[in-house]
Amino acid sequence: MIAGFDVVDVDAAPQIQVGPGCVRRDLPSRSGVRIWIVDMAAGSEWPRVDIHDSHGEDIFVVLGELIEGDRTITAGRFVQFAPHSQHRPRTLTGVRLFGFNLRSPEDPS
């Protein structure tokens, strides 16, 4: 038996309904880091503009296609959003992505 790690079934993590067809699951993470998974149903759009703090945001598209502006980002792609950037993702096919944020002092959650 190997000690010192946890295994999480992401599909069993509690769901947070963000908007129509948009579900987020917060995953265990280290101090100062927020890790989450988002599932968006086919034809859905994030319910609001996502505005980033001074750390930006990183995502990895696991399944499906994510549309950001006029760009379609396919599975297997890693995307970095710059500090203070903003975007409003959508999808025609449905998408699953993992996201990573550094936690700001003003957002201790």
Residues 23-73: tens digit of each pLDDT = 999 999 888 999 999 999 999 999 999 999 899 999 999 999 999 999 999
The model scores a pTM over 0.85: yes
Strands 78-81 and 33-40, sheet pairing: unpaired
In Å, what is the CA distance from 34 to each residue of 31, 59, 82?
8, 12, 16
Which pair of tokens denotes residue 12?
Answer: 């069993």
Task: Please tell me the distance from the alpha carbon of residue 103 to that of residue 66, in angstroms, as a whole number.
Answer: 24
Residue 11: phi, psi to the nearest 5? Answer: -70, -20
Residue 104 has pLDDT above 90, yes or no: no
Domains of the chain by range and CATH? Answer: 15-102 (2.60.120.10)
* Tokens describing residue 60: 């990895």
Cα–Cα distance list, 68 to 32, 50, 60, 89 (Å) = 27, 11, 13, 5
